[in-house]
Amino acid sequence: MPSLVKFKYYSNSIEANRDKQILADHGLQSFIANEQTIQSDWLLSQALGGIQLQVFDHDREKAEEILKKFLEDEVHDLEVEHTIPTPEFDFTCPKCGSNHLYRDENPGGLFGISLLFLGLPLKSKSNLYHCYYCNNEFKL
């Protein structure tokens, strides 16, 4: 009869459940141990060794390969999103050169405060831009 082995350790349940779902998508059964205990008392995390993802011993190598491939593909996906085919603006980020940008629409300063007191739900365009790719903020 196959036995469960401790495969990977996590500090939060979000990453553990993500990896469990990735393995399930590839047909591997896995289990999460200590999740509920640590969520109810996070101080026990150190004593229990964190949240554990467990797989059957005969699936260990395949699980390592699947998660390794996922992490490699995740890095590649970030590189693909560096530019988008139909950008909203005709300029790029000065830090990384990406055209995947958005403009800050929150009114600030004295104008924003006066709008707050008047109760007017107006949005004014600012000249502060953010880059989705590198999180750079810049003004034009």
Residues of the chain with CATH 3.30.70: 4-80
Rounded Cα–Cα distance for residues 132 and 77 (Å)? 13
User: Distances from the Cα of 80 to the Cαs of 45, 73, 75, 83, 115, in angstroms?
Assistant: 37, 10, 9, 7, 40
What is the CATH number assigned to the segment(s) 4-80?
3.30.70
pTM of the complete model: 0.53
47-87 pLDDT tens trace: 888 899 999 999 999 999 999 988 877 654 545 456 677 77
DSSP state of 83: S
Rounded Cα–Cα distance for residues 125 and 108 (Å)? 10
